[in-house]
Structure 1
Amino acid sequence: MAVITNEFPRTQFDEEAFFQRLDAKAVSRLRTAYTTRFVDAALREAPQEFSIVKAPGMVPQAGDVVIARVVELGKHTKLQSVHSRRQRMFPGQKIMVAYGNRYAPDQFLAHVPQDLGPCQLAAGGGLASSVEEQHDSIDQATQIAPLGLLMRNNQVVNLGDYAPLSIEKLSAQATAAQGSVRPPVIAVLGTSMNSGKTTTLACLVNGLTNAGLDVAAGKATGTGAGNDPDLFEDAGAVSVRDFTDFGYPTTYRLEYETIRQMLVSMIQEQSATGAQVVVIEIADGLFQGETGRLLNDPIFNQYVDRVLFSAQDALGAVAGEQILLNAGLDLAAVSGILTASPLSLREARGQLRTQVISTYDLCEADTALSLLPQA
């Protein structure tokens, strides 16, 4: 996290330095993003304590909060608000987002830039980044111009400073629950982005809820956005958490030890809610860097009891089954996008050793209960 050690002049600026003290009126005009929701609460409570600073040599880090101006709309024309409402953006508006890296095969590969120059909005949840590659089928990224980093008490504001949870220190609730028997944990993985993982998880949550169980849901890796947690809550989860609750706008390019501890901390936090089952989504596909390492890490087998796999087609399902079984994981079932096609469903059932369950059949109580690990 960047720290500014010198006070900036309040009354005069040169072409290379910029300072703006914020007030309630300026804050009310900001369009703030989902990733910055915990910072937003503090900003609106005491706006006079915050400022926007841009100066030569400032290098942003992942999670640093930036105030930017919308220059040209592209792929993302809407910004998810702190309440995950999709708010329409207009050129010239000021938005509050966070710097971060993104790995999305269907959209962008993007990294935190090395300066505060023009960059892109790489995700609708509120991610400022420098796009390096993109899928041929989508529009160019929305262009933004950073006005400066958000600062408080002469220090750059980072999402981790305001997050309610931390991987370094468990909450009092989770600490008190240590040593007790944790509930069963099911992880949902997939072949790739948009393989149906989130819907699969939501339907499983709904089915277990229909069976009378209290279910806690989480998303351990991915890109910060409100739609997935909202879906888990709509499905009936009594507690929902994702990595943004730990202060990370995305998990791509985090140190592996951080990813590893994120999974453990999330399971511990959700287990301490009193839930009878914990269901965790692992984003993107099995070949994504951190996902692949997690699957072969003994800690995954230690904390995850069973796995539900989501695939786009029968071939992907067969390959995924082999990878998961070779990793020594207890694969409960295959589901996902492929089950929307009767032909793909029959192909998969003809090739897999694992049972294939149509996504929305997971909403049935008996079906969902059958996927719980045996005592």
Structure 2
Amino acid sequence: MKLYKINSSKIKKAIICKNVNSTLVNKDIKKTYIPKAGDVAIFKIKELGKHTNMQSPNGNNIAILPGDLIMAAFGNRYATEQMEGYVPTKYHNTYHILGQGGAIGILASLHAKFELIGPTTLSLVGYVVNDNGKVINTKYLKTETITQKAIPINTNPKIILSLGTSMDSGKTTSAAFLARGLKLARKKTAYIKLTGTVYTKDKRMVRDYGANVVCDFSDFGFPSTYLCSTDELLDLYYNLLERVKPYNPDYIIVEIADGLLQRETYALIHNKEFMDNVSGAIFSSGDSMSAISGANMLTELGCNVIGVTGLFTTSPLLINEVSQRSHYAVLTGEDIMTKEIINTLDKNLNESQIENKMAVNI
């Protein structure tokens, strides 16, 4: 086995590889080794498409150009407004950038708005390995983890889910607004993004709006959570909760990517262990019908819907439709981003607790 030492100054490293310090590359196995999600490799940019930048370990976006060498990790992606892609099951002459944070795979489908642009293409140079020649995987790399224990039920801090109908329905914005409102109410808030594809823009936004601590799946080396098992997600969730616990937050906002029908989201909201831990949810939508139908779906699962919000709240007409056709509280950005949101939360969560006790007594 012959290993090559790379000049790190000539490599542009993606943020998913921030904890990778090895400069050893095995080029000989590139056609025989079958990668797993999180496996690290060196790629050469062939042709630019949708992605012309990559997020670096310090969070800044850096330009990438044909001929550049980058360090990134294999990962799957599910993004209804962008692309679908998978970790390859065999060697390919061409690979694709699936996410700006450094998720690499083989494109399966692309949103029509990007068809003329296409994906950015790469060739595989070799796999990054440790001193023993083992391919480095980013998952949990240099991160202290705890074997999953039972997730605490109905204890402080209160956990609020930020859910939505689909990608770009307003989930992160709603989470950020809620962090701002809770800060104005002098409450300590943590933000966890549990699922998605690596790119730290969302957690940075919520931090800037007032969360005391933010973290996401990529902090434990996940290029994405697409196709993870529910047990793996629960283990990740437990470790993320442990990560924010030392900050003693009053509230933890947990955002789950994409819509209620997406594979991992659907599994989590149908998982009793996960949902028993939740105090309530704010639900984001782009239109009135999906706001009501999505909130109804959560209610049928026993989830306490605190209110509906998202892009539809920018339209007075859509707000009226939801108000007239459902019992759900409509929360505009202004409603969420003021200190009075604590009154809405307290009232809703207290009423929910009373209803649960009555149901148990019955």
Distance 1:181 1:293, change over 3 A: closer
Letter paired with 2:134: Q
Query: Paired residue for 1:130, among 106, 118, 125?
Result: 106
Instruction: Give the paired residue count.
Output: 344
1:275: which partner in 2?
249
1:299: which partner in 2?
273
Distance 1:150 1:206, change over 3 A: same
Distance 1:335 1:161, change over 3 A: closer
Distance 1:269 1:283, change over 3 A: same
Q: TM-score, normalised by structure 2?
A: 0.89
Q: Aligned pair 1:338/2:312, yes or no? A: yes
Helix, strand or coil at the partner of 2:345: coil
CA RMSD of aligned residues (A): 2.1
Query: Paired residue for 2:168, among 190, 194, 202?
Result: 194
Q: Give unpaired runs (5+ residues) of structure 2.
A: 354-362
Q: Distance in 1 between matches of 2:43 and 2:106?
A: 14
2:129: which partner in 1?
151
Letter paired with 1:33: A
Query: Paired residue for 1:308, among 279, 282, 287?
Result: 282
Contact 1:53 1:151 in 2 (8 A): no
Contact 2:322 2:328 in 1 (8 A): no
1:1-375 equivalences under 5 Å are: 8-9=1-2, 19-22=3-6, 26-39=7-20, 42-43=21-22, 47=23, 50-55=24-29, 56-117=31-92, 118-138=94-114, 139-153=117-131, 154-166=133-145, 168=147, 181-372=155-346, 373-374=349-350
Helix, strand or coil at the partner of 1:87: strand
Letter paired with 2:222: Y
Shift of 1:108: 1.0
Helix, strand or coil at the partner of 1:155: coil
Q: Distance in 2 between matches of 1:27 and 1:98?
A: 16
Letter paired with 2:129: M
Letter paired with 1:78: N
Q: Distance in 2 between matches of 1:265 and 1:333?
A: 28
Distance 1:291 1:178, change over 3 A: closer
Distance 1:336 1:167, change over 3 A: farther
* 1:113-139 deviations in Å (ceiling 9; x for gaps): 123432100111111110011111113
Letter paired with 1:190: G
Q: Distance in 2 between matches of 1:99 and 1:68?
A: 11
Q: Give unpaired runs (5+ residues) of structure 1.
A: 1-7, 10-18
Percent identity for Structure 1 against Structure 2: 30
Shift of 1:293: 1.5
Shift of 1:27: 0.6
Contact 1:83 1:226 in 2 (8 A): no
Distance 1:254 1:82, change over 3 A: same
Shift of 1:290: 1.4
Shift of 1:158: 0.4
Shift of 1:267: 2.9
Q: Distance in 2 between matches of 1:101 and 1:272?
A: 32
Contact 1:60 1:116 in 2 (8 A): no
Shift of 1:180: 11
Displaced runs of 4 or more, over 6 A: 177-180
